[in-house]
Amino acid sequence: MYVDTSCLVAFFIPEIHTEKANSVILEAQELHISSLTKVEFISALNKKLHMGTIDSGDAELISSEFERQINERIFIEHHFEVQHFRRAEIMLKQTTLPLLSLDSLHLSICFLQRQPLFTFDEVLAKAAKEFGIEVIPYSG
């Protein structure tokens, strides 16, 4: 299962979707992310730090734990190749939805690696379904 940044943040930092993120992620057999997910996660962590949602100590602990889980392959990281960018371009040209460029890259990983998507982003979930990508359901 490919874990979108929205779910990853909820897994590591308590928020409204944390309970659902924990139940789905902890039950999954394989967890996939991309190099883009790592950048987005650090950005979200930085934003929460600057908003005062977490302090610098918590941010460092969360970042370290995330890196540890990647290093131990709890989260399997995929790196982008030319084929992912080409698939993202095709998706952006074909979608009927306002799909963001970076979200199309997430979808390209799911599509080419044949991974279901776990996301709390409604547009991303709809776009995934549009391209035949399985979406892990959650009750919002």
- Label residue 15 exposed, middle or buried (CB < 10 Å: 0-12, 13-18, 19+): middle
Tokens 């279901």 identify what position?
116
| Consecutive H or E run containing 103 | helix 101-113
* CATH code at position 20: 3.40.50.1010
Provide the β-strand partners of residue 77.
33
- Asked if the structure places residue 22 within a domain, the reply is yes
- Asked if the structure places residue 77 within a domain, the reply is yes
The structural domain count of the chain equals 1
Domain containing 109 equals 2-130
- Asked if the structure places residue 24 within a domain, the reply is yes
Cα distance between residue 11 and residue 22, in whole Å: 6
Indicate whether this model's pTM tops 0.85.
Answer: yes
pLDDT in tens, the chain (140 residues): 999 999 999 999 999 999 999 999 999 999 999 999 999 999 999 999 999 999 999 999 999 999 999 999 999 999 999 999 999 999 999 999 999 999 999 999 999 999 999 999 999 999 999 999 999 987 55
